[in-house]
């Protein structure tokens, strides 16, 4: 694959690698070093312990050590969200055990983020549950998001609210940029802290058929993090139809200067071979 960027025009965004979708051919603790070997100095993660919101402290310490030894900065971390990748797509709005597990995770995730200097925590909303009034789920979601926002604020982090896409997550209620922004506004109004932000995922938004240029123009100033994958296929930039030189340039011009997470599938090759589109000098944080 040829490089999409022949110079630095339109690429002032700082790129990080999502280690929950890339380098998954390796054990978790080997992934930070693999990302560093590929030239990246920043990484992000979904909640790594899908079976438990409260892993043993020794496992948290081991991940911190792996990040430190690789010289990689963790710049984004999901709160517990059930089985990812998989059908669950979030826990915080699911009444009963899943909501309880999310609450048990809030301080664990926030404290781990603080221990590694991570400044962004992502809270996936949760699927609609058959037989449960959506308003009941939305009320529960707001209660849990308020708790999460306050925990994030306690450690100097922001809370991210993410849009997914309806074709792949038909039960997930936040499948448009305005729907996520509405939740961001409700959380900020409820806490008074103002640290809830939009996670602008160009792949999910394009799968929903939204006009990406309009979304960037409307919400770049409300955006706390960006994630990218090409469409169709959720592969690396250059494997689909999205014009990332233009889109990332628009984000820069709109004032976004945060991290851009690479959240795509490597395909039938090792993850280290999926970065040809991004020259080495653009992979390390400036």
**Number of domains into which the chain is organized:** 1
Residue 114 lies in a domain: yes
pLDDT of res. 3: 73
pLDDT of res. 226: 98
Domain with residue 25: its CATH number is: 3.20.20.150
Residue 83 lies in a domain: yes
Catalytic residue among 69, 162, 210, 214: 162
Q: What is the pLDDT of residues 171-186, one digit of tens each?
A: 999 999 999 999 999 9
pLDDT at 98 over 90: yes
pLDDT of res. 286: 57
229, 80 Cβ separation under 8 angstroms = no
Residue 22 lies in a domain: yes
50, 83 Cβ separation under 8 angstroms = yes
pLDDT at 95 over 80: yes
pLDDT of res. 178: 98
Predicted TM-score (pTM) of the model is 0.96
**How many Cα atoms occupy the beta-carbon half-sphere of 54 within 13 Å?**
9
Query: For the residues 133-145, what does the mean pLDDT come to?
Result: 98
What percent of the chain is modeled with pLDDT above 70?
96
The region of weakest confidence among 79-83, 151-155, 187-191 is 79-83
Residue 9 lies in a domain: no
Catalytic residue among 44, 98, 210, 263: 263
Angle at 210 between CA 208 and CA 213, to 5 degrees: 145
Residue 203 lies in a domain: yes
In the chain the beta strands, taken as DSSP E runs, fall at 14-18, 42-45, 73-78, 120-122, 158-162, 196-201, 223-228, 259-262
Distance CA 258, CA 272 (A): 24
pLDDT at 10 over 50: no
Q: Is the dihedral of CA 108, 50, 228, 208 positive or negative?
A: negative
Residue 151 lies in a domain: yes
51 a catalytic residue:
no
263 a catalytic residue:
yes
Asked if omega into 59 is within 30° of 0 (cis), the reply is no
Ramachandran area for residue 99 (φ above 0: left; ψ -120 to 50: alpha; else beta): alpha
Q: 32 is in which domain, residue-wise?
A: 14-282
Q: What is the pLDDT of residues 34-84, one digit of tens each?
A: 999 999 999 999 999 999 999 999 999 999 999 999 999 999 999 999 988
Query: For the residues 124-153, what does the mean pLDDT come to?
Result: 98
Residue 136 lies in a domain: yes
Residue 3 lies in a domain: no
Q: What is the pLDDT of residues 225-269, one digit of tens each?
A: 999 999 999 999 999 999 999 999 999 999 999 999 999 999 999
**What are 161's strand-pairing partners?**
198
């Amino acid at each position: 694959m040829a490089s999409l960027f022949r110079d630095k025009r339109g690429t002032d965004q700082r790129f990080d690698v999502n280690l929950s979708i890339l380098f998954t051919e390796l054990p978790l603790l080997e992934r930070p070093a693999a990302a560093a070997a590929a030239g990246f100095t920043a990484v992000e993660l979904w909640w790594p312990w899908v079976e438990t919101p409260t892993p043993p402290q020794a496992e948290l310490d081991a991940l911190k050590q792996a990040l430190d030894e690789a010289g990689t900065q963790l710049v984004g971390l999901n709160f517990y969200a059930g089985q990812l990748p998989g059908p669950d797509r979030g826990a915080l709005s699911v009444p009963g055990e899943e909501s309880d597990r999310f609450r048990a995770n809030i301080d664990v995730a926030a404290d781990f983020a603080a221990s590694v200097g991570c400044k962004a925590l992502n809270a996936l909303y949760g699927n609609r549950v058959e037989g449960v009034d959506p308003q009941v789920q939305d009320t529960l979601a707001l209660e849990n998001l308020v708790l999460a926002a306050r925990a994030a604020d306690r450690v100097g982090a922001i809370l991210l609210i993410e849009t997914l896409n309806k074709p792949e997550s038909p039960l997930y209620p936040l499948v448009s940029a305005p729907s996520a922004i509405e939740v961001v506004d409700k959380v900020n109004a409820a806490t008074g802290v103002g640290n809830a932000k939009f996670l602008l995922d160009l792949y999910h938004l394009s799968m929903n058929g939204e006009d990406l240029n309009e979304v960037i123009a409307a919400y770049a100033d409300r955006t706390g993090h960006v994630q990218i994958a090409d469409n169709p296929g959720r592969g690396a930039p250059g494997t689909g139809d999205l014009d990332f030189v233009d889109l990332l340039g628009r984000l820069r011009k709109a004032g976004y200067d945060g991290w851009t997470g690479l959240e795509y599938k490597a395909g039938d090759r090792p993850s280290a071979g999926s970065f040809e589109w991004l020259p080495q000098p653009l992979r390390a944080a400036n």
